[in-house]
Every structure is written in C-alpha cells, then in structure tokens.
Structure 1
C-alpha cells in the first residue's frame, strides 16, 4: 500500500508538469515576431508589396496575407516585377510567393512555370523564372523566391524565412513592426514635396520620415501623426495651440502643458472584452465563445456568420476621428483554449485521485478480511 501511496502523487505531479508544458508551448507558438517592410507605387492605385519576416509554412503565410487584406505575391503585371526589384536589394533568404503544384500533379520542366499554378487561379506571369534547380518534383511542392531572384521548389510544409504579400498602402505592414521605411516607387525626387515632414531620395524612389514626437501614419506612411510612448508627454505647441495624440488628454499645470494617457478600459468598451490599457490606445481580446466584430465589440460566435471562429483576438484598428482624445483600438493575442486545458487537467487529476482512493480502500478491505479469516480458523479436539 505504501508503494501505491507514493506512486499516486508522483503520477499526479508528472501529469501537472506535462499539462503546464503543453499549455506553455501552445501559448508561445502563437507569439511570433512580425518584421515588415514595404515598397509601394506613388500614385492613385497605391499598390504595395510587403516583405514579412515571420518563419512560417506556405499555408500560414497565405492566411497571414489574407488577414491584412492581401494575397501572396503573384507576378501578374510589370508593376509587381518592378516593385520587387526595389524590395530585393540587400535581401537575403527564401520567401514564399503564391505558386504551387496542383494536387496530384508533377512538375513539367519544359513549361514556363514548370506546371505550377498561382494560388488565386490566375494564369501567366510578368516574371521569367530563374529556377534554382532542375529536377522533376510532384505535389505538394510550392515556390519561394530569393533576393537574387532565384525560384526554389520546396515542400509547402517547410518553414522558411518569410513571405511576400501584395496589398494596398492602407493595409501594408498594418499592426506589424516596420523594419525599414516604406519605399515609394517614383521617377520624381523630393523636390515635389511628397512627404508631410522629411523626404529622402533612395534608389528607385523615396522614403518619408517624421519629426520628433511624431510617427508615420500606419494607413499612409507619407503622413505623420502625434505620438507619445509613455504615460505623460509635453504637448506640441502648434502656433499657440497645444496638441495631444489620440487617446491622450491635455493637462495644464504650472510646469506647462502636458498630454496624459486616457485609461480607455475604465470606460468599459465591452463587458465581454478583456481590456488592457496601452499608451494612447487599448488592447481588446474576446473571452471564450465570443468573436470580435466592428473592431471593438465582442459578440457570441453563434450570432456571427462571416467572422473567424477563434477565441483569439483579431488585430483591429479604428480610424481616429479628426477631433482629439477619441478612442482607437487594437487587439492582442491570448492563449488559445487555455481554459479548456485547465478544465481537462483538473478533471484528469480528480479521476486519478478517485481511482487511487478506490484501490487503497479495496486493498485495506482485502487485508482486513484475510486477518479475520486467520482468527476464525476452527481448531480440532485434542485427545489426552
């Protein structure tokens, strides 16, 4: 019995450690660094190609592009090729594009695209491929592209250096860490005044930057907006008018005029939203059974038809109104199904305790029965 008593706690402890490690691995796998750079046309269309440096497989790359209203890059026009020519300078590694072998098909070395098809179903290409290797391969294979413009055939499940998306300017690198200034492809120089603040001529076009206490507008990097990365910042004096970033209140004191962060979570935007205040904004994630709608509202999943079925918050942005001190929001990732893991762990632990208690009880009853039987054994008559 002592052996059983020792084994049960050890088993339970081991199970708890296993569940914690599984939960931790699940949560950490959802956190990916997201470094993005973009090259865009300078004109009415504002088409962009973004380089995203997340190490993912092709399916994840495709989903990530679509999450930001884009698609994996497909070379369908001369613009696609010219934008990539600018983006590829100084580029190292392999990056997914939207080219794959159809299911059950094998490559054809004599065909221009070797029998590969664009993910969107479009045909043709503005790019004359320079293949890295010459070998017949069969599905599932996809194509990546290098900075020196080599096309490489690899398994679609491979984890490579990143992926290339085609999107619009207002969605390019939205909600991601921008690793390089956005390059605008243009034959004009900075003399035309394309940037709100500073302009720098680069090969193939120009880039824009902002003055101190300003950052590029995520929807239009040519424009700048006020920014404060702490609880309190000095207000900007614009010809006698003191201005503050969105999500901040102007406070007058003897020391001068300051901007102080507003805690939007105190206003309770949605009781079903797990709210976390940030400087100038807040982060919202929906609890189990709810999904994000209209960027700041959580609704029951069964009431939604065209929303993603996930308990994780989707990155959302609210266009700041022209007036100051108005809310805007984004959402942050939460651990997927964390509560399901916890409930499952508690249920299994309870089951282990129940079984252990039952086994110990039966063993005690058996030992007690054996002792009683030995005492009641009949003794024969002794003859003298």
Structure 2
C-alpha cells in the first residue's frame, strides 16, 4: 500500500501550478489537454513540460480526430508540437523538414495547408498551428508569435485504471481537467461519486478515501490530518462536522464539540474524543491547542537541483536560483552575457548581473528577443506575469538570514544587530560586551551597493580642481588691478602738496 501511495503522490506532483487546461480527453494510454492561454511556441512547450508532457504530436488519424474533438468549440490558432529546427521548409519531404518536439521525424498522417509565404530563410524559426476555421490544417507561423492556445499530450504506460462501470461518476485527472464516462484513466486520477465518496487511481487499482493527506487533501471535502496512529482523517471548518457515512464530506454541526477545546485551527474526532489539529504547514505546539509554523525549508531535499526553498507562513515554494529560469520543468542557467541590456556588467558564471534597484520592486530587464530571459539583482526574486516580469526584494530575514539575534531587511540585503550589552562578531554572532545600552548594527553585503557610482572619474576631479584654482587666482588679480587703478585716480595732486618732497641722493663724492 505504501508503494501505491508513493506512486500516486509522484504522479499528482506533476500537476503544475499556474496554467490549467480548459478541457481534455483520454484514450488508451494517452491523455490530451487543451490550454486556451495566449503563448508563443516555447512558452507552450514549457507549460506542457511542467505538467509532465509535451505539445501534441498528430502522427495518426486517431490523434487528428482527438484534436478535432478538443478544438471543436474553439476559435483562433493553437500550437501543436511540430517545428522547423533550422533552415527553410523542404516541400519535397513529407514533413517538409519539420520534426516533432519528441525529436521524431516520422508520421503516418499529414494535413498541410498551402506553403507559407515567409521569406527564406525566415527571420525567426517556424512552428505549426491549427484552427477550426481552416479545417485543422497545419499552418506555418513564426514560433515567437502569441497564439490563442495550445494542445498538450501525456503518456502513461503503466498503472492506469479502468473506468468504474454502472455508476454516475466524474474523474479528475492529474493533468488538471475533468472527464466523464472514461474507459481508461491515468494513475493519479480521482473518481468522485454522486454520494460524495472518492477513490484514487494508483498502480492499476482504486484506493478509497481518505488516503494520504499529501495527495489532494486525502480526498476530504475540507482538510485532512493524521491521528495519533498516523492514519489519515478528514475534518471540517468550525460549525461543521464530518459526515459519519462517508468520512469525507462536511455537514452542519448541531452542537460543535470543538468550541470547548479552543483550538487555534481546528479539531477532529478520534475514537470517542476530540483533539486539536493544525492546517498544512503547521505543527501542534506543546500546549496541544496552538499551532506553530513548520519550516519545510530546513529539509534540503524539498527542492530540485538549481532551486532554492523559500519558507512562507504555513507553506513553502521552490524557485529557480538567481541566474536560472524554469524551462521544461527544470531550472536551467541563463546566459545573461549574450543578451542582457547591461551586458557590459554581466559575467555569465553562475548568477545574475550586478544591476541596481534600490526599491522593493523593479521592472525586470529582459532579452528583447525572448521575454522569458530576464535578469534580477542579487537579493531579488524574478516574478513572471503574463505580460511582464518584475524583480521583487527577498526578505532574507524571513528564510535565510544567519543573524544570531536580530535581523532587519533592506532592499537587496539585510542587517544583523544585537541586543544592548552585546557586540556583533563575524557579522552574524552576538557576544556579551562590557558596554551596556549600546545596540550595534552591521550591514551584511549580499549585493553591489544600490546607489549608482559617480559618473566623474578621478582625472575629471583633478581637472575641476585645477580650473577652480586658476579662476580664483584670475579673479584675485583682476580685483587687485581695479583697486590699484582706483588709488591712482583718487590722488591728482603732486606729493609736494602734502608737504612731501622728493629726496634725491647725491652720489658725488
């Protein structure tokens, strides 16, 4: 049973957060999903990869029929997984030099539209879109263009479950869409019955809820916890109690026994009594009623290679390290030196260029040819939105500052300081000092200073000083000359008029 739950957890972990499909279809050992989100070809492939799949390959008439079914009520262009790696299309070949994102170049089905009118070689790579208005023919387009959506495909060779017969049930797949009356379901699917009961698919069998709390809340309507015997148990919000018939759904409580316990978060029934419990990301304190945050980032195994863990209140998230970006479900190094607007400041070792921000949030500077390649200063985190990317200051004091006593966040950095009577040692530790009542601070430098350096060089300063001295001397000389001239014009009388006589020296002997 433990192996079954681990497989179910692994499969469900592939359901990426963020973009979710608006529809889907499963047949045999394949599932296909429709995403109606504007995206270029590379961005669409990234979303498919995050869901443990790839852009749809249409290499058979069955796949084409599935595509037609999914796009039957849509408008606009949608990407499929066919692209031209380089050069110009070759009309003499069945795939015209294109290949599928799975690197295959073979196909048993072709549905080409008229040859494109793009210049050869094209200015940017070419990819294939389909739409209902042209009968789903393969239309060449620039890969960088934003289309109205895309199609993903997912393969599951082992562990699939057969549809539950003779019952009214909806299925939620691990890829984010719901289906009805399915014949074959991938592992990680959840079957929801009309009476509220749920089952999860793992290793070819349906497991009754509640299952592991880590997997879709154990199938509980509200939340899931574990009892003292480490068994999953459902519980409900205040004022409600778990339906005793199915143990999953919530119904109004006539006399809520949890009120008397004064639990910080919630309580659940255990045997003939009730106990306090905490929401995900928290643990029960020693008093058995309060809840404290669980620092998931203390476990280095939480995140994958080239990722860092950021602890938040009640949860955590894994993000790419500075200088890396998410591509194909993994964090890959970004070569900022090749394209960054500040490339004279970039060195593509590992990490970001030393740019400046000085605020809590700044617009990220991105490659004009690839909106997914952006740089942020150290101490900032890249947040990607649909139409732009920003750099947000990381509060190091919240998750990774090493200060022994106190920490104060600053833009791109942080400060450690000690209580009165302590001295800061090695920038992070506090030792008792002989001086009481003094609080010391030190800035732990994690980025280049956020102020921009002066634009005047040392030689420029020397020139300014020389010019200033010269002008000062010139002004003094000019004023002196004026004053001397004024003295002469104010004395028109001869020296004799004042009783003064010119003295001559007789040099004769």
The offset of 1:242, in angstroms, is: 7.3
Total equivalences in the alignment: 291
1:143 aligns with 2:128: yes
Q: Deviations over 1:230-280 (max 9, x none)?
A: x94534223385789xxxxx98335996686344481111156322346xx
Describe the SS at the equivalent of 1:41: strand
Distance 1:261 1:336 in 2: 31
Q: 1:66 aligns with which of 49, 74, 79?
A: 49
Q: Which residue of 2 aligns with 1:36?
A: 21
Q: Deviations over 1:286-337 (max 9, x none)?
A: 6648999xx9xxxxxxxxxx8534789xxxxxxxxxxxxxxxxxxx957765
Describe the SS at the equivalent of 2:103: coil
Distance 1:346 1:239 in 2: 62
- Is the alpha carbon distance of 1:193 and 1:202 closer, same or farther for their aligned partners in structure 2, counting shifts above 3 Å? closer
Q: Which residue of 2 aligns with 1:84?
A: 67
Query: Which consecutive unaligned segments of at least 5 residues does structure 2 have?
Result: 1-16, 173-177, 210-215, 224-235, 251-255, 269-276, 283-291, 299-307, 335-350, 353-381, 395-410, 413-446, 495-509
Distance 2:196 2:471 in 1: 80
1:155 aligns with 2:161: no
Q: Which residue of 2 aligns with 1:274?
A: 310
Q: Which residue of 2 aligns with 1:191?
A: 166
CA RMSD between the two structures: 5.5
Q: Which residue of 2 aligns with 1:302?
A: none
Q: Which residue of 1 aligns with 2:259?
A: 253
Map 1:175-214; keep pairs closer than 5 Å: 191=166, 195=170
Q: Comparing both structures, which one devotes a greater share of its residues to helix?
A: 1
Higher RCO (C-alpha 8 Å, min separation 6): 1
- Is the alpha carbon distance of 1:365 and 1:51 closer, same or farther for their aligned partners in structure 2, counting shifts above 3 Å? farther
- Is the alpha carbon distance of 1:161 and 1:344 closer, same or farther for their aligned partners in structure 2, counting shifts above 3 Å? farther
Q: Deviations over 1:40-67 (max 9, x none)?
A: 4355x2x111222232221222233223
- Is the alpha carbon distance of 1:116 and 1:136 closer, same or farther for their aligned partners in structure 2, counting shifts above 3 Å? farther
Q: 2:99 aligns with which of 107, 117, 126?
A: 117
- Is the alpha carbon distance of 1:214 and 1:232 closer, same or farther for their aligned partners in structure 2, counting shifts above 3 Å? farther
The offset of 1:107, in angstroms, is: 4.1
1:164 aligns with 2:155: no
Q: Deviations over 1:65-117 (max 9, x none)?
A: 22332122112345423432321220221111121234122341x64434433
TM-score by length of 1: 0.55
Q: Deviations over 1:183-228 (max 9, x none)?
A: x9x9x8963666579x9858999997666999997999x9982243
Q: Which residue of 2 aligns with 1:351?
A: 454
Describe the SS at the equivalent of 1:347: coil
Confirm or deny: 8 A CA contact 1:35 1:54 kept in the other structure.
no
1:371 aligns with 2:475: yes
1:238 aligns with 2:275: no
Q: Deviations over 1:147-178 (max 9, x none)?
A: 341322111111111222111479xxxxxxxx
Describe the SS at the equivalent of 2:258: strand
Confirm or deny: 8 A CA contact 2:221 2:248 kept in the other structure.
no
Q: Which residue of 2 aligns with 1:301?
A: none
Confirm or deny: 8 A CA contact 1:56 1:161 kept in the other structure.
yes
Q: Which residue of 1 aligns with 2:420?
A: none
Greater shift in the superposed pair: 89-98 or 232-241: 232-241
Describe the SS at the equivalent of 1:103: coil
- Is the alpha carbon distance of 1:218 and 1:88 closer, same or farther for their aligned partners in structure 2, counting shifts above 3 Å? farther
- Is the alpha carbon distance of 1:212 and 1:194 closer, same or farther for their aligned partners in structure 2, counting shifts above 3 Å? closer
The offset of 1:124, in angstroms, is: 3.0
Confirm or deny: 8 A CA contact 1:86 1:204 kept in the other structure.
no
Confirm or deny: 8 A CA contact 1:81 1:126 kept in the other structure.
no
TM-score by length of 2: 0.43
Distance 2:454 2:170 in 1: 66
Q: 1:94 aligns with which of 77, 85, 90?
A: 77
Query: Which consecutive unaligned segments of at least 5 residues does structure 1 have?
Result: 1-31, 171-183, 245-249, 296-305, 313-331
